[in-house]
Amino acid sequence: MECRICGKYFNEEITFASLFVPRTICPRCKTIFVPKIYHECIPFTKGIINYFSIYDFENNDYRQDTWLFKNMDKCFCLAINSQSDYDIIICIGAVEYETATEWLPVLVAYHRILMISLFYYAFERYEYLL
């Protein structure tokens, strides 16, 4: 079978229980891409950014990004349940990270910011904007 995340072929024993439920993810990807919420606080002059991501590493593979997006439900539930605690909620992807110089200075008008993403993006290189 071909893994939906890495694209490599893998063998798995087919039993009667797994006959009608084919495995789509290889054992290696199952261990690497276990969803877990990571939290980082980014303070700036007028407030704080709470940054949550599902995976603690950056990834530029669109195939993996698309397949793993279903794990964002944990961050979306967090955003929905705590929406009254924040002034603005932002969902970050690769495009938003690359264009952060354009929209990050706008955030200084807010005090409590929630940012969520599937993969971790290092915002240290944009510190001078806040």
What's the pTM? 0.81
- The residue type found at 59 is N
Q: How far apart are the first and last CA of the chain?
A: 47
Tokens representing 25 are 């993810």
Q: Residue 7: CB partners within 8 Å, gap ≥ 6?
A: 63
For residue 130, the model assigns a pLDDT of 65
Q: How far is residue 29's CA from residue 6's CA, in Å, rounded to a whole number?
A: 7
- The residue type found at 45 is T
Percent of the chain at pLDDT above 70? 98
The DSSP output letter for 111 is S
Q: Are 91 and 113 in contact (CB under 8 A)?
A: no
Q: Which contiguous run of DSSP H or E holds residue 63?
A: helix 62-68
Query: Which tens digits make up the pLDDT trace of 58-110?
Result: 777 777 777 788 888 888 888 999 888 999 999 998 888 889 889 888 888 89
Single out the residue of 72, 52, 68, 49 nearest to residue 60, CA to CA. 68
